[in-house]
Chain A
């Protein structure tokens, strides 16, 4: 197979995953959240239990007027939704789905790349917030900036712990080195990574930057139509990315009960959806954290814990 054909297949596969998996997660969120609240959720779109609800939503958003406020910084305002979406698409490139190079772009410094690219999220939020020329957007954006910068630290430290344990920054190598007993050894790191990941994608209970009851819709207040849909899509892709990273780093990626060589992709997907379910579950169960509680949790709980985990990892690694 020529190089360009293989490249094309890989890129198209990632694009398809980028466009379908977040929709599946979004639909699951609709239905799971509804049933957890004793409701049915969407039932009409697509005739069978509202399976086409998000497609219908997308069509609706496309039809809406694309408004740019007069006072807005037009170029930045229009660019922000794309900047929020693109990093997640890039992250999907390096996430291994299965063994034997079943990954769009194997990268030796995959973990480093992922953490760097996910960090771009804060830029898009600040772009949206500043350029909107709206006080709610600005408040939301500043909250988001404080939150994202704060949670970046435990996020990276927890990831560093597992990288240290595996002795590699390549995501595939980390999965290959993973042992079931790491579930216990890296448990604190996993919880810290997962919690910080939730905060990174601004999911409830860490949705203080959006806080619709006080800030309208935070940095997304001024957005309409397709640009708003991009932000929403970015949220669902964010769930996918955090679920996939948790799976790959801490849950053993493609390692399953049997036949990893052929069914690895299935184990990975199953784990991703299980983690995504937990993300939705947490959203339904917990109220939003107040801004000071949010920062306290980050700096006084997660960061010290992550440092302690790093110490533990190093100690165990040296002892072995």
Chain B
């Protein structure tokens, strides 16, 4: 209960009036492109050149929606004793009617062949058309945004720290002993 009777009623009116003077939250989506945050999970893009057919993504996928076919090819490297073997990707397909957009395949890929793209307008009238073959997955690569800038307050990336350590080890040791640990 409030001290002045009716102050609650006035407060209710004030809230609606204040809301009216502010801009509406509505996004007029089909007319205006949505302003998606970085790292939006729209569709998975495949950079085919990076794929080594290690099958990690297909094995990690929780609902088995990645299909990979490949064959081995012999590559004769001049000067080498024996011809090398190389995996060639025949088919790479993601069934987006099964995909649950967990992104584990992208995390699992050791060669950076898979990326998140924010594109999301690929609805189909037939559910079978949601199976994107590698050509279609390759087209999405163009829509992959540049990675967001590193958080200035965050820890430096592992690559950076290890590179700095390597550089420190290679250069002549400084006068005072570096702190251990």
Interface pair A39/B25, CB less than 8 Å apart: yes
Chain A interface size band reads: 10 to 19
A35 at interface, CB cutoff 8 A = yes
Chain A residues in 8 Å Cβ range of B25: 38-39
> Closest A-chain residue to B28, C-beta based?
A43
> Closest A-chain residue to B31, C-beta based?
A43
Query: Which of the segments B9-17, B33-41, B69-77, B136-144 contacts the partner chain?
Result: B9-17
Rounded to whole Å, the gap between the CB of B165 and the closest CB of chain A is 52
Bound together, the chains give a CA A220 to CA B136 distance in angstroms of: 53
Interface pair A38/B22, CB less than 8 Å apart: yes
Interface pair A285/B13, CB less than 8 Å apart: yes
Interface pair B17/A40, CB less than 8 Å apart: no
Rounded to whole Å, the gap between the CB of B5 and the closest CB of chain A is 11
Q: With A40-B26, A40-B28, A43-B28 as given contacts, are A35 and B19 in contact (CB-CB < 8 Å)? A: yes
Helix, strand, loop or mixed for chain B's interface?
A: helix
Bound together, the chains give a CA A285 to CA B9 distance in angstroms of: 8
Interface pair B26/A39, CB less than 8 Å apart: yes
> Closest A-chain residue to B21, C-beta based?
A35
Number of interface residues of B (CB under 8 A): 13
Interface pair B20/A36, CB less than 8 Å apart: yes
Interface pair A285/B16, CB less than 8 Å apart: yes
> Closest A-chain residue to B23, C-beta based?
A38
- Chain B, range 6-63, C-beta contacts under 8 Å to A: 9, 12-13, 15-17, 19-20, 22, 24-26, 28
Chain B residues in 8 Å Cβ range of A117: none
Q: Which of A39, A40, A43, A284 contacts B16 (CB 8 A)?
A: A284
Bound together, the chains give a CA A288 to CA B26 distance in angstroms of: 26
Interface pair B28/A285, CB less than 8 Å apart: no
A32 at interface, CB cutoff 8 A = yes
Number of A-B residue pairs, CB cutoff 8 Å, is 33
Query: Considering residues B15, B17, B24, B25, which has the most beta carbons from chain A within 10 angstroms of its beta carbon?
Result: B24
Task: Please encode chain B, from 148 to 162, with 1 for each CB lying within 8 Å of some chain A CB and 0 for all others.
Answer: 000000000000000
Task: Please encode chain A, from 153 to 188, with 1 for each CB lying within 8 Å of some chain B CB and 0 for all others.
Answer: 000000000000000000000000000000000000
Interface pair B13/A38, CB less than 8 Å apart: no
Query: Considering residues B9, B20, B25, B26, which has the most beta carbons from chain A within 10 angstroms of its beta carbon?
Result: B20
Interface pair B26/A37, CB less than 8 Å apart: no
Interface pair B17/A34, CB less than 8 Å apart: no
Q: With A36-B19, A37-B19, A38-B19 as given contacts, are A281 and B24 in contact (CB-CB < 8 Å)? A: no
Interface pair B16/A36, CB less than 8 Å apart: yes
A286 at interface, CB cutoff 8 A = yes
Chain A residues in 8 Å Cβ range of B15: 285
> Closest A-chain residue to B18, C-beta based?
A36
Chain A residues in 8 Å Cβ range of B28: 40, 43
Rounded to whole Å, the gap between the CB of B49 and the closest CB of chain A is 45
Bound together, the chains give a CA A39 to CA B24 distance in angstroms of: 5
Chain B residues in 8 Å Cβ range of A281: 13, 16-17
- Chain B, range 85-135, C-beta contacts under 8 Å to A: none
Q: Which of A32, A35, A37, A286 contacts B12 (CB 8 A)?
A: A286
Rounded to whole Å, the gap between the CB of A263 and the closest CB of chain B is 28
Q: Which of A37, A43, A284, A286 contacts B9 (CB 8 A)?
A: A286
Query: Considering residues A34, A43, A284, which has the most beta carbons from chain B within 10 angstroms of its beta carbon?
Result: A284
Rounded to whole Å, the gap between the CB of A283 and the closest CB of chain B is 10
Rounded to whole Å, the gap between the CB of A187 and the closest CB of chain B is 14
Interface pair B16/A38, CB less than 8 Å apart: no
> Closest A-chain residue to B13, C-beta based?
A285
Chain B residues in 8 Å Cβ range of A284: 16
18 more contacts with CB within 8 A, not counting A282-B13, A286-B12, are A34-B24, A35-B24, A36-B17, A36-B19, A36-B20, A37-B19, A38-B22, A38-B24, A38-B26, A39-B24, A39-B25, A39-B26, A40-B26, A281-B13, A281-B17, A284-B16, A285-B16, A286-B9
Q: Which 5 A-B pairs have the closest CB atoms?
A: A36-B16, A285-B12, A40-B26, A35-B20, A36-B20
Q: Can you name 8 A-B residue pairings with CB atoms under 8 Å?
A: A36-B19, A38-B24, A38-B25, A39-B24, A282-B13, A285-B12, A285-B15, A285-B16
Q: A residues engaging B (CB < 8 A)?
A: 32, 34-40, 43, 281-282, 284-286
